[in-house]
């Protein structure tokens, strides 16, 4: 049972434009949400997080939005840079212990 | 400051064999979690070790077992390997069991191929 879903396997964006990556979840008990970025042959790298008491968290070019009523999470990257090209995973947890990951979205930023 | 170190990087085993994967956590971290990432999938939680005990376990059979040593390093053992065990095995470390805001630090993984 896939509790966290990323329905877009891939996304291509022009350099300088906004990248929007989406994630849906089914478990209303999730209270921590994270985004990880993964380059080939490397482990996932923590990018940004948000707790269920917030609806937005911003860190530089990266902003995560949480819509609890829709059980939807999104990551905005503005402006997108070629170095952002990677696979992005969203993950969710109850109490920040065991994390459930989505299947990932491969982002390509075109120079 | 070394991050999470996993060994070996790649491994090929025959169906039915046993395998041991190793992980050294990031300096200052005391909790190790293991994840399995099959091709085209996201990482799936196997189990977590804290204070040398398994604290939480995902939906994996007893063929998967682990250990944590006093220096916080950890091993993942898989017995009676199946073709479906072929995957990237990721070790993640953290300071404490609960990582809501900060997330884990992941290693680069061990690529296990079962033939």
What residues contact B95, with CB distance under 8 A and at least 6 apart?
B28, B29, B30, B31
Instruction: For A58-68, write each residue's pLDDT tens digit.
Output: 999 999 999 99
| Residue A2 binned pLDDT confidence (cut-offs 50, 70, 90) | confident
- Cα of B36 to nearest chain A Cα, Å: 11
Inter-chain Cβ pairs, chain A and chain B, closer than 8 A? 67
- Average pLDDT of the residues of chain A: 94
**DSSP bridge pairs for B89:** B36, B110
Judge whether residue B100 has pLDDT over 70. no
Residues near A40 by Cβ (< 8 Å), separated by ≥ 6? none
The candidate with the shortest Cα–Cα distance to B65, out of B76, B74, B55, is B76
Q: Is B54 on the interface with A (CB under 8 A)?
A: no
Residues 6+ apart with CB under 8 A from A32: A49, A50, A51, A52, A92, A93, A94, A95, A96, B99, B100, B101
The answer on pLDDT for B1 being more than 90 is: no
Q: Inter-chain contact A89–B42, Cβ cutoff 8 Å? A: yes
CA neighbor of B86 nearest in space, from B10, B34, B32, B22: B10
**How would residue A98 be classed by pLDDT, with cut points 50, 70 and 90?**
confident
Identify which of A32-41, A57-66, A97-106, B1-10 has the greatest average pLDDT.
A57-66
Residue B103 is predicted with a pLDDT of 73
Taking a C-beta distance cutoff of 8 angstroms, is the pair A24, A68 a contact?
A: no
Tokens coding A90: 């969203």
pLDDT band at B106 (very low <50, low <70, confident <90, very high): very high
The per-residue pLDDT for range A68-87, each reduced to its tens digit, is: 999 999 999 999 999 999 99
Residues B87-100 have a mean pLDDT of: 85
> Hey, what are A8's tokens?
């877009």
């Amino acid at each position: 049972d896939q509790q966290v879903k990323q329905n877009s396997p891939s996304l291509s964006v022009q350099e300088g434009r906004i990248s929007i990556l989406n994630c849906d979840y089914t478990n209303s008990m999730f209270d921590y949400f994270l985004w990880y970025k993964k380059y080939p042959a490397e482990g996932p790298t923590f990018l940004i997080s948000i707790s269920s008491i917030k609806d937005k968290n911003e860190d530089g070019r990266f902003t995560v939005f949480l819509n609890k009523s829709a059980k939807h999470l999104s990551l905005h990257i503005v402006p997108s840079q070629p170095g952002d090209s990677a696979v992005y995973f969203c993950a969710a947890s109850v109490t920040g212990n065991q994390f459930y990951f989505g299947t990932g979205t491969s982002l390509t930023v075109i120079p | 400051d070394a991050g999470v170190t996993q060994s070996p990087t790649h491994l090929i085993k025959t169906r039915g064999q046993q395998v041991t994967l190793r992980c050294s956590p990031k300096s200052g971290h005391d909790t190790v979690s293991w994840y399995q990432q099959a091709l085209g999938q996201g990482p799936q939680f196997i189990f977590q070790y804290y204070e040398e005990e398994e604290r939480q376990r995902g939906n994996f059979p007893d063929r998967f077992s682990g250990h944590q040593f006093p220096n916080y390093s950890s091993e993942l053992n898989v017995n009676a390997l199946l073709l479906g065990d072929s995957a990237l095995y990721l070790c993640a470390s953290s300071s404490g069991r609960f990582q809501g805001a900060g997330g884990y630090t992941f290693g680069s993984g061990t690529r296990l191929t079962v033939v």
